[in-house]
Amino acid sequence: MNTVLPDQYNLKVNGVFYKYTPIKNRSDDFKVTISNTDVFSHTDDWSGKSGGIEMRKMIGFEYIPRELWGDGSITLDGTGTIENPSVVYTYRYEDGCTSPLDNPTCDGYTDAVMDLVPDTIITEIYNALDDDNVKQEESEVDYKEEEQEQEDVKEEDDLERALAINEEILDFGNVIAQNQMLDAMNSSIQMNTYYDKTIDGGQYNETVVLKDNDLPDNKQGRRMSLGTQILHDKMVNIQYKELK
């Protein structure tokens, strides 16, 4: 496979495509096997079938690394031959991983780094953050940042107060402007025409004249009133008798 696949790190095979034409008699038993010693083996059985028909087939894989592939082969079993055989491998490179050191996510990155490290190395590492001078600088920086934050908060409070005062001034100015507008509207209306208006009048004399000073009693009304009283008395007496 070293002469078939590129010598490229992180190469992975995802398929094998092969083709050939079997030459045989229909009655002859004949088998053709396409295989790779370490990965796969696939057999086409031509027994009882006519030859002369080209075989084309594709076998897919889940991206098998190049290092797992061995030598490929085509094996014939029975009576017959093949013509124009061809085996093609499809593959891909992982992005950014032409070598293990290209990216920490590449396969073999840790091992490749360790291979570059000499056997004898300095095991004691100086940590600058533990230095007293560095800690003092960090505390001063933290104090300055806290002081700056307090100044920023004070500026925000002052800005909010200024905006609130401006709103109150605007509201007060609006009230004054409205009052002035009402005064201007009232002054433009002539109210004297309503105050000075007079209604024609004077003394109105009585026009109804009574011929007689005395008004006679209504005799019919008297009879109705007497009849109503008699009827009322009868009803009261009937109720009184029933109660007894």
- Residues 6/30, Cβ–Cβ less than 8 Å: no
Q: Is residue 79 very low, low, confident or very high in pLDDT (cuts 50, 70, 90)? A: very high
Percentage of residues in the chain having pLDDT higher than 90: 23
DSSP-derived pairing of the beta strands 72-78 and 81-93: unpaired
pTM: 0.41
Alpha-carbon span 64 to 77, nearest angstrom: 28
pLDDT at 135: 66
pLDDT tens by residue, 17-56: 999 999 999 999 999 999 998 899 999 999 999 999 999 9
The pLDDT mean for the chain works out to: 75
Asked if residue 97 has pLDDT above 90, the reply is no
* Residue 193: HSE in the Cβ half-sphere, 13 Å Cα cutoff: 3
For residues 68 and 13, give the distance between their C-alpha atoms in angstroms, rounded to a whole number: 10
Which pLDDT tens digit goes with each residue over 170-223?
665 666 667 667 666 666 555 555 555 666 666 767 776 666 666 666 655 555
| DSSP collapsed to 3 states, 80-115 | CEEEEEEEEEEEEECCCCCCHHHCCCCCCHHHHHHH
DSSP the chain: -TTTS---TTEEEEEEEEEEEEE--TTS-EEEEEEETTTEEEEEE-TTS-S---EEEEEEEEEEEGGG---EEEEEEES-EEEEEEEEEEEEEPTT-SSGGG-TTSTTHHHHHHHHS-SS-------GGG-HHHHHHHHHHHHHHHHHHHHHHHHHHHHHHHHHHHHHHHHHHHHHHHHHHHHHHHHHS--HHHHT--------------S-SSPPP-HHHHHHHHHHHHHHHHHHHHHHHHH-
139 or 20, higher pLDDT? 20
Query: For residue 223, what pLDDT is reported?
Result: 59
More confident residue, 161 or 21: 21
Residue 143 binned pLDDT confidence (cut-offs 50, 70, 90): low
Q: Tell me the average pLDDT across 96-121.
A: 71
Residues 23 and 76: beta-carbon distance below 8 Å: no
What is the pLDDT, as a whole number, of residue 162? 64
